[in-house]
Amino acid sequence: MFQFIFRRLSLVIPTFIGITLLTFTLIRLIPGDPIEVMAGERGVSAERHAELSAQLGFDQPLYIQYFNYVSGVLQGDLGNSLVTREPVLSEFLALFPATIELTFCAAIFAILVGLPAGIIAAVKRGTLFDHSVMTFSLTGYSMPVFWWALLLMLIFSVNLGWTPVSGRIDVVYWIDNVTGFMLIDSILSGEEGAFSSAASHLILPSIVLGTIPMAVIARMTRSSMLEVLSEDYIRTARAKGIAPWRVIVIHALRNALIPVITVIGLQVGILLSGAILTETVFAWPGIGKWLIESIGRRDYPVVQGGILIVATIIIVVNLLVDIAYGIVNPRIRHSR
Amino acid sequence: MSLLTLENLSVTFGKFRAVDNISYSVKEGEVLGIVGESGSGKSVSSLSVMGLIDYPGEVSADNLSFADQDLLSMPEKQRRKITGSDIAMIFQDPMTSLNPCFTVGYQIIEALKTHDGGNKKVLRARALELLNLVGIPAPESRMNAYPHQLSGGMSQRVMIAIAIACNPKLLIADEPTTALDVTIQAQIIDLLIDLQKQKQMGLVLITHDLALVAEVAHRVVVMYAGQIVESGPANEVFSTPRHPYTQALLASLPESASGKARLEALPGVVPGQYDRPQGCLLSPRCPYATDHCRHVAPDSQGSLERQVKCHTPLDAQGRPAA
Amino acid sequence: MTTETLQAPVPRTPLQEFWHYFSSNKGAVAGLAFIIFICFMAIFADVVAPHSPSDQARDALLLPPAWLEGGNWVYILGTDDVGRDILSRLIHGARLSLAVGMVAVTASLLMGILMGLVAGYCKGVIDTVIMRIVDIMLAMPSLLLAIAIVAILGPSIVNAALAISIVSLPHYVRLTRAATMSEMSRDYVTSSRVIGASPLRLMFVCILPNCVAPLIVQATLGFSTAILDMAALGFLGLGAQPPTPEWGSMLADALQFVQRAWWVVTFPGLMILITVLAFNLMGDGLRDALDPKLKQ
Ligand SMILES: Nc1ncnc2c1ncn2[C@@H]1O[C@H](COP(=O)(O)OP(=O)(O)OP(=O)(O)O)[C@@H](O)[C@H]1O
Ligand code: SF4
Ligand SMILES: [Mg+2]
């Protein structure tokens, strides 16, 4: 098992190096003088130009620039925002909880709906339920997230007035930032109604963001389950005379989940990039909105740092998923 | 007293009859051999006894009973109590028949727990005992092994342990050695026969191996394209086959070919879903086929003890009756 | 007892066989029909569209669809905030989306095939380098990568198309490489090699035809991703720029009218959804029809 984890870890390192190379190159691919471009209409004074040039290390040879960049990154130094002059990392950390809260709820929604739907569709193969699940999941899979957000907002917030339009909590509440997670902070604040306000703000964004992962999980679970249900060991289990639910839940599901776990892990990337769109529509103050605004402001250090962090998170999550995969799949766990 | 009785059992998949009106019975402590080419419905018929035929397959029978209990009319739940305890089955491919996610111990204990219950310690002791019984060395350490860590022979022994866990009265072994090395095959068969004698189980042994059936079975059923073409006491069927198909099968055995010039076998293959002939299903391949055979399907003749499905059963000299 | 004789299927040519499987999938046929329909609309946009996509009717701002109160049959799906006909913009938008999809898919298909062939044929260091790059690209969600590329190159429809074709490369590279590797070990390839067939001939004549089927499927699905990503970039203001009638960017300004004019929001998105769905349906149908593993 340790060997397995170690091998996975060693595969992550070149990928991380590749990502740093990518983000490092990105900023140098800007056509023209990068500092001029970054400054844009704001313009830049000669001193500030020199200062920035030194700060970004543009006056040194490329390989030294890269070396400095990576060693900075490893020490948590991702540069400063051109607009706020704050360190990129601290801006990121301040906004990240909002994104985690959203993606986490979206993931929960996707799994809670997608997994059972896929299982039942496979068990009741060929029925109306199965066809509906397949139709809905293909539609969900083809859904333009930003439009879905607008549509749900139109129906549930504007026409029915059931949910708030945007933001994380009603403006009447002033919640101290303790953990950064509004659901938790609103409880800690002790203000009446704060938690339900925070929760109701989360509902639509979570559903919107969770739709595509839900569709993917449902499809994958169904096909994986169908495959497993036709395996010989399912026949063995049934020949033991155990109850049908036990055959499905204990014998089939355990095996069917192995590929599904990988797929769920891959959804983290989809969730984080979907968060960019969802946060923009719902004015959700997370890193997605932050990244898009930074692009608009030509705040390149933020764009560079933000992409690096998001990519790193995705790699780490995929690593964790790989390890989880090894834990549920004895064939991998015991292989050397 | 007969343990298992089938009367006119059929299994259909849509329009296709995979098993066509077969009747046989198994007595306590009896070994019944079922032989026939691939696709003749051996597995499907025994799965229907286990209640493991799924939609779109449909099972119908005039009588399908085990120890005088009607299996078809009883509620699902009651039937599951019989399946896996009183009737157990082992399958062709042991490597894929064990669940890769669970340890050997878990899979044996599950069978015990489902039918007999008991606390952890007792169950574990029973499982160890079973592993010992099926001849697995170092059973303690095998309890926690996963199926992929076992060889094919070992896996089949574990399958046998699971099958006999609840002391079944009837064991169905569907080609238990086909997927194994030749050297292991004999060991597994010896084990099965030993267990059968020890526990006085009824044993249905499905196989392609006629020599094996001749050696161990009390009675034989010969199947062709979903039908029973001949059945009877093993020694009678092998010494004086009455159906042309049985005759041809026996003639294709290497031993019987020793004195003859060439290996006799029937040309052609078992008819499948699309090419079922009119009349007798064997008629395209049968050396004795007449026009009558090609138009009218023969009925089963004789008692359940010795049935033949042919218009002109062979006589003691192996020639068709006039 | 009667024995029914079932009819055996008659043997068919591969093309008939393909069509038999494909046409038995109703969703795939519906997808194909819609794609043909929308291609027609896109090609003849100038003739089909009732108005010019940029004509601003000053007296008809935010007009609801014709069948609603206050609607006007001149503007069937209503007008937007500056009085442009939504239907006409959608039809012209189809032209743009399909063109971008076509360009992006073709570009990444060509580059991907080339990289895959080279990686699979040369093996060794070149293979390792190409596959590492592919792995890194796969580790990043495609939209994020596309956003990064556009952020650097500057927002425009051409850069968006370029970004989309780059991010969809990995799938084609992987498919082609895998097919190349497995073909390379076949006897006939080895023997052509011994005879002295040139590497290029080997790659394009022997190996490539064997991976056409999965590539077609991937390209069809790639179309849907391209349209979806294009719309997303347009929506974020990183793709087509405002007056251009692009489906995604049409939605970008719609945000402020959610409360007042639902049709401005609804129709462009519906168009994206249906088009993407059509390509996905057709891609699934193609995969089932072309995948020999699923045939009995
Ligand atoms: N689920 C099913 N649906 C349709 N046809 C089936 C199904 N299962 C089995 N059959 C058909 O039933 C026929 C009998 O199959 P069966 O597996 O019983 O043969 P067998 O005698 O056990 O052969 P083998 O020696 O190869 O195990 C075959 O023609 C097979 O194609
Ligand atoms: S009925 Fe005729 S064709 Fe059939 S087995 Fe007997 S002799 Fe042969
Ligand atoms: Mg069989």
Report how far apart, in Å, the C-alpha atoms of A113 and of each of A105, A137, C187 are. 12, 11, 49
Mutate which: A123, A236, A238, A249, vs B, most B CBs within 10 A: A236
CA distances from C285 to A135, B46, B97, B154, C198 (A): 14, 38, 33, 43, 37
Domain membership of residue C225 (yes or no) is yes
**Most trustworthy range by pLDDT among A20-29, A235-244, B276-285:** A235-244
Contact B15 C1 (CB under 8 A): no
Cα dihedral A93, A96, A101, A107 sign = negative
Q: Quick check: C294 pLDDT over 60?
A: no
Cβ atoms < 10 Å from Cβ of B200: 10
Q: Which two tokens stand for residue B83?
A: 């399946």
> Would the CB atoms of C6 and B297 count as touching at under 8 Å?
no
In a domain, C237, yes or no: yes
**pLDDT interval class at B261 (50, 70, 90):** very low
Residue A158: list chain C partners with CB under 8 A.
Answer: 258-259
pLDDT for res C10: 62
The domain in which residue C225 lies consists of 25-116+149-169+218-294
Residue C187 lies in a domain: no
Q: Would you state the pLDDT for residue B262?
A: 41
B100:A331 CB<8 A: yes
Q: What is the C-alpha to C-alpha distance for residues A203 and B47, in angstroms, rounded to an integer?
A: 50
Instruction: Tell whether ligand 1 has an atom less than 6 A from the beta carbon of residue B271.
Output: no
Nearest by CB to A330, which of B111, B146, B159? B146
In terms of CA atoms, which chain B residue is nearest residue C6?
Answer: B274
CB atoms within 10 A of CB A19: 21
Q: Tell me the mean pLDDT in the region A263-278.
A: 86
Q: What is the pLDDT of residue B56?
A: 83
**Inter-chain contact B15–C5, Cβ cutoff 8 Å?**
no
Mean pLDDT of B228-245: 91
Question: Does the pLDDT at position B158 exceed 90?
Answer: yes
CB contact (8 A) between residue A138 and residue C284: yes
Angle between helices A145-152 and C212-235 (to 10 degrees): 50
Please list the residues that pair with B83 across neighbouring strands. Answer: B87
* Chain C residues touching residue B278 (CB < 8 angstroms): 3, 5
Instruction: Indicate the average pLDDT of chain C.
Output: 81
Enter the tokens of residue B39: 């696709």
Residue C214 φ/ψ, nearest 5 degrees: -65, -30
From chain B, pick out residues whose CB is under 8 angstroms from the CB of C9. 274
Is C6 in contact with B274 (Cβ distance < 8 A)? yes
Distance, CA of A269 to CA of B5 (rounded, Å): 60
Residue C268 lies in a domain: yes
**Centroid of ligand 2 to alpha carbon of B247 (angstroms):** 12
**B2-309 topology per CATH:** Rossmann fold (3.40.50)
Cβ atoms of C147 and C187 closer than 8 Å: no
Measure the CA–CA gap between C141 and C60, rounded to whole angstroms: 42
Contact (Cβ atoms closer than 8 angstroms) between residue A114 and residue A213:
yes
Are the beta carbons of B276 and C6 separated by less than 8 Å? yes
Measured from the CB, is residue B147 less than 6 Å from ligand 1? no
Ligand with minimal distance to B174 CA: 3
Give chain B positions within 8 Å (CB) of A233: 96-100
Ligand 1 site, residue B57, Cβ cutoff 6 A: yes
**Would you state the pLDDT for residue C295?**
41
Residue C171: per-residue pLDDT: 87
Who's near C296: CB < 8 A, 6+ residues apart?
none
Q: B93-124 pLDDT, tens per residue?
A: 888 999 988 999 999 999 999 888 888 899 99
3-state SS, residue B89: strand
Determine whether the interchain pair A314/C141 forms a contact, defined as Cβ–Cβ distance below 8 Å.
yes
For ligand 2, atom 5, the nearest C-alpha belongs to B310
B223 C-alpha vs ligand 2 centroid, how far in Å? 14
**Tens digits of per-residue pLDDT, C167-212?**
889 889 988 888 888 877 777 777 777 777 777 777 777 777 777 8
Each residue of A57-99: pLDDT tens digit?
Answer: 777 777 888 888 888 888 888 888 877 888 889 889 988 998 9
Cα dihedral C255, C259, C260, C264 sign? positive
Determine if ligand 2 sits within 6 Å of the CB of residue B310.
yes
Q: How many CB atoms lie within 10 A of CB B188?
A: 23
Q: How far apart are CA A329 and CA A317, in angstroms?
A: 18
Chain A hits for B98, Cβ within 8 Å = 233, 236
Q: What is the pLDDT of residue B317?
A: 81
How many other β-carbons are positioned within 10 Å of the β-carbon of residue C290? 17
Q: What is the pLDDT of residue C9?
A: 58
Domain membership of residue C105 (yes or no) is: yes
What residues are paired with B314 via a beta bridge? Answer: B320
Give all chains having 3 or more CB-to-CB distances under 8 Å with chain C: A, B
Ligand nearest B209 Cα, by number?
1
User: Distances in Å between the alpha carbon of A34 and those of A39, A52, B174, C147, C158?
Assistant: 8, 10, 74, 18, 21
More confident residue, A30 or A269: A269
CA–CA separation, C276 vs A145, rounded Å?
12
pLDDT in tens, B57-95: 899 999 999 988 999 899 989 999 999 899 999 998 888
B176 C-beta closer than 6 A to ligand 1: no
A residues 293-312 closer than 8 Å to C (CB)? 295-296, 303, 307, 310-311
For ligand 1, atom 12, which residue shows the shortest CA distance?
B18
Q: Cα–chain-centroid distance for residue A229?
A: 31
**C-alpha B38 to ligand 1 mean position (Å):** 8
Q: Which residue has the tokens 């971008």?
A: C100
> For residue A108, what pLDDT is reported?
94
Q: Is the pLDDT of residue C135 over 60?
A: yes
What CA–CA distance (Å, rounded) separates B196 from B208? 20
Residue-range domain boundaries for chain B: 2-309
Instruction: Give percent above pLDDT 90 in chain A.
Output: 25
Supply φ then ψ for residue B261, to 5 degrees.
-70, -40
Ligand 1 touching residue B43 (CB < 6 A): yes
Give B123 to chain A, closest Cα distance, Å.
16
φ/ψ (deg, to 5) at B62 = -70, -30
Residue C61 has pLDDT above 80, yes or no: no
In ligand 2, the atom with minimum distance to the C-alpha of B287 is 8
Q: What is the pLDDT of residue A211?
A: 93
Q: Is B81 on the interface with A (CB under 8 A)?
A: yes
Class of residue A94 by CB neighbours under 10 A (exposed 0-12, middle 13-18, buried 19+): middle
The mean pLDDT of C150-169, rounded to a whole number, is: 87
Task: Give nearest CA residue, ligand 1 atom 31.
Answer: B39
* A336 — pLDDT class (breaks 50, 70, 90): very low
Highest mean pLDDT among A55-69, A182-196, B19-33: B19-33
A132-136, A220-224, B53-57: segment of lowest average pLDDT:
B53-57
**If contacts are CB pairs under 8 Å, which of residues 42-71 in chain B contact chain A?**
47, 50, 52
How many independent structural domains does chain C possess? Answer: 1
Q: How many CB pairs under 8 A join B and C?
A: 18
Residue with the bigger pLDDT between A37 and B185: it is: B185
pLDDT of B88 = 93
| Mean residue pLDDT across chain B | 87
Q: Do B273 and C6 touch (CB under 8 A)?
A: yes
Check if A212 contacts C (Cβ < 8 Å): no
Q: Which ligand is nearest to the CA of B291?
A: 2
For the stretch A11-66, pLDDT in tens is 788 888 888 888 888 777 776 666 776 666 666 777 777 777 777 677 777 788 88
Region of poorest pLDDT, from A318-322, B105-109, B286-290, C290-294? C290-294
Give the contacts of C87 (CB within 8 A, at least 6 positions apart).
C49, C50, C51, C75, C76, C77, C267
User: Contact, A76 vs A334, CB < 8 A?
Assistant: no
Of A233, A239, A328, the CB nearest to B99: A233
Is this complex's ipTM strictly greater than 0.90?
Answer: no
Structure tokens at C101: 């999809």
Average pLDDT over residues C26-52: 86
Residue B245 has pLDDT above 80, yes or no: yes
The answer to whether A174 and A73 are in contact (CB under 8 A) is no
Number of Cβ atoms within 10 Å of the Cβ of C81: 15
Eight-class DSSP state of B232: E
Q: Is the pLDDT of residue B259 over 50?
A: no
pLDDT above 50 (res A245): yes
Position C292 scores a pLDDT of 55
DSSP C179-222: HHHHHHTSHHHHHHHHHT--HHHIIIIIIGGGGHHHHHHHHHHH
**Residue in the structure block whose two tokens are 């497993």:** A228
Contact A156, A204 (CB under 8 A): yes
CA gyration radius, chain B: 21
Please name the residue that has the structure tokens 């529509």.
Answer: A281
What's residue A42's pLDDT? 63
**Nearest chain C Cα distance for residue B206, angstroms:** 27
- Number of the ligand closest to the Cα of B18: 1
- pLDDT tens for each residue of A288-307: 889 888 888 878 888 888 88
Of C6 and B248, more confident: B248
Q: With an 8 Å Cβ cutoff, is A154 touching chain C?
A: yes
Q: Which residue minimizes the CA distance to atom 1 of ligand 1? A: B57
- Can you tell me whether residue A105 is helix, strand or coil? helix
C-alpha R_g of chain C: 24
Q: Tell me which of A1, A229, A240, A335 to substitute to probe the interface with B (most B C-beta atoms closer than 10 Å).
A: A240
- The stretch C266-275 carries a mean pLDDT of 90
pLDDT band per the 50, 70, 90 thresholds, residue B128: very high
List of domains in chain A: 89-288 (1.10.3720.10)
Confirm or reject: Cβ of B282 under 6 Å from ligand 2. yes
Segment A210-218 mean pLDDT:
93
Res A299: pLDDT: 81
Sign of the dihedral defined by the CA atoms of residues C173, C174, C175, C181, in that order: positive
DSSP chain C: ---PPPPPPPP--HHHHHHHHHHT-HHHHHHHHHHHHHHHHHHTHHHH-SS-TT---TT-TTPPPTTSTT-BTTBTT-B-TT--BHHHHHHHHHHHHHHHHHHHHHHHHHHHHHHHHHHHHH-HHHHHHHHHHHHHHHHS-HHHHHHHHHHHH-S-HHHHHHHHHHHTHHHHHHHHHHHHHHHHTSHHHHHHHHHT--HHHIIIIIIGGGGHHHHHHHHHHHHHHHHHHHHHHHHTTSSS-TTS--HHHHHHGGGGGTTT-HHHHHHHHHHHHHHHHHHHHHHHHHHHHH-GGG--
